[in-house]
Amino acid sequence: MTIPGPLAGKVALVTGASRGIGAATARALAAAGAHVILVARTARDLEAVEQDIFDAGGSATIAPCDLAEPDAIIRLATAITGRWSALDVLVINAAVLPVLTPVWQIEPRDLNRALLLNVAATQALIASFHAALRKSAGARVIGVTSSVGAGPRAYWGGYGASKAAFDNLLDTYAQEVRTISDIRVAIVDPGATRTAMRAKAYPGEDPASVKAPEVVGAHIAALAARDFASPLRERVEAA
């Protein structure tokens, strides 16, 4: 079933769609009429989000995938482009938060995983889906970033470095395609949001003191449905 809306007939893919901002974004995109492909590692969690979308009258497909595995993104793209010729919306949301620690104490394994998932997987997603995005009439690529990518913060060096590289990749891609295609790229800073990653970083914080992920999801879905100058960078403020 397709819900009438500004994204009716569109195909959207959301990474990290099993919880938090990714799940909220997937629900919002489906509510706007898109068929949403849900990507994350855990099938059971994706199935719960898929059921929420079905219950609301929307349409979704789960695609369990560990983006950090070699060739996983290529296999994902092959499966998706074999079913849908074009991809209209790509939301790159999946990320990992390394242990917060001084730069000289960062564990190489933690840093390497952050760079793999937050940076290398981003490039692989763009490379694997670029052709499908080109086939869309007005594709949108939306990356979910963090303020520490643009403004370094003590103890956040590993995550901040990965997000700085993430932002650079997306901004560069936007510049490369804006005059030769209809692809538009946005980088969204969700700000303080009630997620598992936020709880890990700020364990003593009252979750009710920060905005719900649904606020960010609604913002991203609205962005996917409108035109904008590319590259665009926006911060989501509290509702």
CATH assignment of the domain containing 204: 3.40.50.720
Total of domains in the chain: 1
pLDDT in tens, 90-135: 999 999 999 999 999 999 999 999 999 999 999 999 999 999 999 9
153-173 average pLDDT score: 98
What does the pLDDT read at residue 239? 65
27-38 average pLDDT score: 98
Tell me if 5 is assigned to some domain: no
Tell me if 3 is assigned to some domain: no
Does the pLDDT at position 9 exceed 70?
yes
Tell me if 153 is assigned to some domain: yes
pLDDT in tens, 45-70: 999 999 999 999 999 999 999 999 98
Comparing C-alpha atoms, which of 238, 229, 19, 232 is closest to residue 143? 232
Q: Side-chain half-sphere of 75: how many Cα atoms within 13 Å?
A: 11
Question: What does the alpha-carbon distance between residue 212 and residue 190 come to, in Å, rounded to a whole number?
Answer: 10
Q: Which residues are known to be catalytic?
A: 159
Question: What does the alpha-carbon distance between residue 196 and residue 90 come to, in Å, rounded to a whole number?
Answer: 22
Residue 121 structure tokens: 């997987």
Determine contact, residues 66/120, Cβ cutoff 8 Å: no
What percent helix, strand, coil does the chain show, rounded to 5?
Answer: 45, 15, 35
Q: Within 10 A of 103 (CB to CB), how many other CB atoms are there?
A: 13
Domain boundaries, position 221: 11-235
Tell me if 178 is assigned to some domain: yes
211-228 average pLDDT score: 97
Tell me if 185 is assigned to some domain: yes
Amino acid at 92: I
Q: What is the mean pLDDT of the chain?
A: 96
Q: Which long-range contacts (CB under 8 A, 24 or more apart) does 165-171 make?
A: 165/115, 165/118, 165/119, 166/95, 166/118, 166/119, 166/122, 167/143, 167/233, 169/119, 169/122, 169/123, 169/126, 170/92, 170/122, 170/141, 170/143, 170/231, 171/231
Q: Within 10 A of 192 (CB to CB), how many other CB atoms are there?
A: 15
| Exposed/middle/buried for residue 104 (C-beta within 10 Å: 0-12, 13-18, 19+) | exposed
Residue 114 structure tokens: 């952050």
